[in-house]
A and B are shown apart, each in its own frame.
Chain A
Amino acid sequence: MTTDVLPAGERTHQLLAMRARPRPASALSAVATLAWRAMLKIKHVPFQLFDVTVMPIMFTLLFTYIFGGALAGSPREYIQYLLPGVLVQTIVFITVYTGMGLNTDIHKGLYDRFRSLPMWQPAPLFGALAGDLFRYSVASALILIVGLILGFRPQGGVVGVLLAVALVMTFCFALSWCWIIIGMLVRTPESVMTTSFIFLMPLTFASNIFVELSTMPGWLQAVVGRNPVTYLANASRGLMHGTAVWTDVAWVLVASAAIVLVASPVAMRMYRKER
């Protein structure tokens, strides 16, 4: 039987001839290349942007018009309070995809290939995180546009809004490390989702994203008041409206740093370790 691959001849021989390999990519260029891969995945599977686009729009519309009147007198007043919170919630939710993507790559054998390459070993993790920052930006832009259409008027101006988005991204970058750990621990992408949401649901709903802390019973205020997401929601609200309390911002940065300091060495260790 004849084979039609690999035409015979000098060209093929040249193509497969052993020769010195190029100098491996630098850490930065490897991360950039893997971030490019994340972009390509978005291009080929645009459905994965569904959660980033449709979900936040739905949340904003539903909460503004259903709860707006009851919670703040009118939807227009409520959206001034709600919108920064929806932004926080949306981005915090989609951090889960970092863990899911990693889990898929591990089980498809792709990470074995990456780990056998002569590149900076954690590059795939940082590449995925860099790709995620792009998704966070898309989601943030969409929420803000919808918000502006519905009457959201940030008093902090463009700078305040951008600072708020940057702060949310910083916290979410930190939080992603936790899902990276879960992504390496469990078997399927679905279990990454389920496991992560056990933590994410209380983290986002037991916060002041939707309602003021002062409307809650005292014991709950004690819990919600210590939730880092509450600080994040307060800080981004403050930044967007030009009324930021700097201690809120500082606490978010401290919490982000703490998560990165604890979770990233664990994640990197697990990543380097065999499985």
Chain B
Amino acid sequence: MSDAIETSGLVKTFRDTRALDGVDLRIRQGSVFGLLGPNGAGKTTTIRILATLLKPDAGTATVLGHDVVRDARIVRQKVSLTGQYASVDEDLTGHENLVLMGRLLGLSWRSARERAVELLEAFGLAEAAGRQVQTYSGGMRRRIDIAASLVAIPEILFLDEPTTGLDPRSRNQVWELVRRIADGGTTVLLTTQNLDEADRLAERLAVIDHGRVIAEGTSRDLKASVGSSALHVRLATADQRTRAAELVSRVLGDGVLPVTDPTSLTARLANPAQAAAVLTALTGDSVDVAEFSVGNPSLDEVFFALTGRAAAPEAKP
């Protein structure tokens, strides 16, 4: 069985920005794979190349063994893309949009209508089927958008930031959908800026930064390199920060991460139990702690652990 996706040395330059600078990926079939990175890292560009919308300047990419440039048409027969912005016709109703997709994918009018009704029902959109998509809420739009990619189930589904901008309830619904789609046998490649999301959905992750894959593995691998959790301390005043940082790094050995907020400290914790020791050290030295919490490492923290610098958000192209 060939890999679902294999890329080697993908390079793509837009005017003077090098969006991709040698991306190597290998994604096996039947999995959910997460592409994690900040804005402008090259996630969308990678997906657009794989969906045959862009041609790489250098390097190769194959989807199920077919070259995305040479065999673009075969690749299109096997993939679906749900872009970052709702890529359905907002003037049309939900039902009409799905029938449109069905017809373009080669279904008869009758099968296209039946398929549209089935999907709308299953996606909780039956009541909104006859309404124009522009009247839909953010979560409903996302769902109709994903449904449009499933009118004919693809072998590979690309989801570009499927939950960005959604409220927690809609986000959970999308997560549930992604799991069900993967259960059906479709390989899902999704991009996200959210480590938690990647952790929940994807068996394997690649972290991408400045057009390069800087880490790849299971989310457990990744967390092992970052520390399983992160400690967040907020101080009552900024002038105690240097002192507090010294104390924290003395207790933890190392692991204090840079943050822009002058009253905050973040540190990697190999073991959450160390938090107690840190708190004792801080209060023992009469550092005025306003907030103290242990949580999952954020994308920033992963980035710092991997690159030694903060993830610099870049403007969207």
Contact = CB atoms under 8 A, between A and B. Distances in A.
Count class of interface residues, chain A = 35 or more
Interface in B81-106: 81, 83-93, 96, 100-101, 103-106
B105 A24 contact: yes
Nearest to B52: A116
Interface stretch (A15-23, A54-62, A165-173, A177-185): A15-23
Interface residues of B, number: 58
A257 interface: no
Contact of B106 (A4, A23, A110, A112): A23
Interface stretch (A6-14, A144-152, A222-230): A6-14
A37 B89 contact: yes
A247 to B, nearest CB: 43
A90 B48 CA distance: 40
Contacts of B106: 21-25
Given A12-B180, A40-B92, A116-B52, A25 B153 contact: no
B176 A18 contact: no
Contacts of B86: 108-109
Interface in A41-87: 41, 44-45
Contact of B92 (A4, A44, A115): A44
Given A6-B123, A18-B153, A116-B76, A110 B173 contact: no
B105 A25 contact: yes
B107 interface: yes
Contacts of B153: 16-19, 21
Contact of A108 (B87, B119, B152): B87
A3 B52 contact: no
Contacts of A18: 153-155, 184-186
17 contacts: A1-B172, A3-B169, A6-B122, A13-B183, A16-B184, A16-B186, A18-B184, A19-B153, A21-B78, A21-B154, A24-B104, A25-B105, A25-B106, A108-B89, A110-B87, A118-B76, A274-B48
Given A24-B77, A44-B91, A117-B76, 7 more contacts: A3-B169, A25-B104, A30-B104, A36-B103, A44-B132, A116-B80, A118-B105
Interface of A: 1, 3-7, 11-13, 15-19, 21-25, 29-30, 33-34, 36-37, 40-41, 44-45, 105, 108-110, 112-119, 123, 274
